């Protein structure tokens, strides 16, 4: 049997970096403008959890790219 070694490429870019390099250029090419794009935004305040007489919020929801 031959020993086949595999090369693993680790991408150290954040989600925002990947979005800027991969997604945003394609949106521009499709005709979207900066006025129509929002990047890395929170779109909820977080779910409210009520326990007896106390309430707290869960983590807010975030998006990488919002097109409107």
Q: What is the pLDDT of residues 3-51, one digit of tens each?
A: 667 776 676 778 778 888 888 899 999 999 988 988 878 888 999 999 9
Residue 2 confidence (pLDDT): 64
Q: What are the chain's domains?
A: 15-67 (3.90.1570.30)
Round to the nearest angstrom and report the end-to-end CA distance of the chain: 55
Looking up tokens 């979207």 gives 32
Do the Cβ atoms of 46 and 59 come closer than 8 Å? yes
pTM summary value: 0.53
- 15 vs 2, more confident: 15
Where does the pLDDT of residue 63 fall: very low under 50, low under 70, confident under 90, or very high at 90 and above? confident
Residue 25 confidence (pLDDT): 92
For residues 17, 23, 27, 28, the Cα torsion angle rounded to the nearest 10 degrees is: 40
């Amino acid at each position: 049997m031959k020993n086949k070694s595999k090369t693993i490429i680790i991408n150290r870019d954040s989600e925002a970096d990947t979005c800027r390099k991969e997604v945003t250029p394609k949106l521009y090419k499709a005709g979207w403008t900066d006025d129509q794009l929002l990047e890395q935004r929170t779109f909820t305040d977080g779910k409210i959890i009520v326990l007896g007489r106390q309430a707290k919020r869960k983590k807010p929801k975030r998006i990488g790219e919002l097109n409107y």
